[in-house]
Structure 1
Amino acid sequence: MQVCLFLIGASGQQPLLDIAPLQCIDGLRSLVVHEPITQRVDPRIPPAADAPSSVLQLYFDELATFEAAARRDGPIDRALKEPLIAGRFTQQVMAVRALAPLGLHSEGRVQRCTYLVAYEGPAEDFDIWLAHYLQHHAPLMSTLPALRELEIYTRIECTSGLPCARADVMQRNKVVFDDASALADALASPVRDLMRRDFHTLPPYQGGTPHFAMRSTYGNLATH
């Protein structure tokens, strides 16, 4: 199972770093950069005022490979220039469940539109929570019209020498579409109505569920 490092930029900060050096990190399988969009795409949830300035996703095939890259003064630390990321980003490493990978990987830069969702938690019983979510909610999500990608992330314990505070979100989700119009259509579809009904049957949990619509860049980011 892949692991993903989330680097989450603080709201209101300068959005992006020079991320070109990240492409040279040994073991990095893919890199996605998300930037917030301001237009309203969700008929039920207005755009969040505290959207992150940017979100970086760094994917690795194994936890040990990530930990080697994320050690203090290691490749990620050097690539992101420690003084610039300290205080501007939080970090969280999560296990990746890719439930609807539909051919996003292409040569060169690819632009998509993503809805990032976090369940802050904790759940009353996480095993019951996750089993219900994967068995009931995820299959509904996978039928959203024009969906290009669906991933569900759960937190894991690991070592990291990056100088960022750690986030401790219970679960994250990502649904990906070709553009903002496709995302808006999916969120206004009957499938979303079914998802909202199922949402009210989720096992007990605490915390918020922030939703962020993002413009996402996949592929060759060296000239970003």
Structure 2
Amino acid sequence: MQVCLFLIGASGQQPLLDVAPLQRIDGLRNLIEHEPIAQRVDPRIPPAANAPSCVLQLYFDELAALEAAATRDGPIHRALQAQSEVKRFTQQVMAVRALVSSTPGGQARAQRCTYLVAYEGPAEDFDTWLAHYLQHHAPLMSTLPALREVEIYTRIECAIGMPCARADAMQRNKVVFDDASALVDALASPVRDLMRRDFHTLPPYRGGTPHFAMRSTYGNLATH
């Protein structure tokens, strides 16, 4: 199972523009840069306040490789520090469950549209929560029309030393489409009605569930 480092930019600031230094990090298998979309895409959920200025996802095949890259003064820290960007990011390392996967390839900077969701938690019983989510909600989500990717993330503890504040969402997900119009159509579909009904049967939990529509750019990684 892959692991992913989320770097979440503070709301209201300029997005990180130069990701080239990050693309050369040893062990990095995928890098995705998300920037918020201004238009409203979801007829059922109002846009969340304080959308992040950007979200970076850095994927590694092993936790040890991620930890090595995310030490204090390590390559990720240096890449952010060179652009004076360290303090405006929060960080969270999560395990990746890829339920639907169609990552674009063959283009230097392929783009798609992503709906990112965070379940802040905590759940009353996280094991019961996750089992229900994976058995009931995720299969519905995977049938959204024109879907390209579905990933579900759960938090893990790890040893990293970057001086960024830590986020603590109990779970994150994303659904990915070719463009914003495909996302809009999917969120207005009958499948979404089924998802909303199932949402109300989820085991008890606290915290918000912010949803963010993002324009997603897939980096062309150098060979390590």
Task: Quickly name the TM-score band, shorter chain normalised.
Answer: over 0.9
Change (3 A) 1:91 1:103: closer
Moved more, 82-91 or 70-79: 82-91
1:67-146, aligned counterparts within 5 Å? 67-81=67-81, 84-146=84-146
Match of 2:173, SS? strand
After TM superposition, the score normalised by the length of structure 1 is 0.96
What is the root-mean-square deviation in Å for CA atoms of aligned residues? 1.4
SS at 2:53 equivalent: coil
Which position in structure 2 is the counterpart of 1:63? 63
Cross-structure match for 2:32: 32
Which region of structure 1 is more displaced relative to structure 2, 204-213 or 9-18?
Answer: 9-18
Per the alignment, residue 150 of structure 1 pairs with 150
Structure 1: state its 5+ residue gaps.
none
The count of corresponding residues between Structure 1 and Structure 2 is 222
1:67-86 Cα deviation digits (max 9, x unpaired): 01111111111111167233
Q: Which residue of 2 aligns with 1:204?
A: 204
Distance in 2 separating the partners of 1:164 and 1:11: 15
For normalisation by structure 2, the TM-score amounts to 0.96
Pairwise CA distance, 1:14: 1.6
1:48 Cα deviation (Å)?
Answer: 2.3
- Gapped runs of 5+ residues in structure 2? none
Aligned residues of 1:150 and 1:174 also touching (Cα < 8 A): yes
1:33-52 correspondence to structure 2 within 5 Å? 33-52=33-52
Distance of 2:123 and 2:156 partners within structure 1: 15
Q: Distance in 1 between matches of 2:220 and 2:76?
A: 17
Which residue is 2:159 aligned to?
159
Moved segments of 4+, more than 4 Å: none
Residue matched to 2:19: 19
Residues 95, 153 of structure 1: 8 Å contact kept: yes
CA–CA distance in 1 between the matches of 2:48 and 2:133? 24
Name 2:4's counterpart in structure 1. Answer: 4
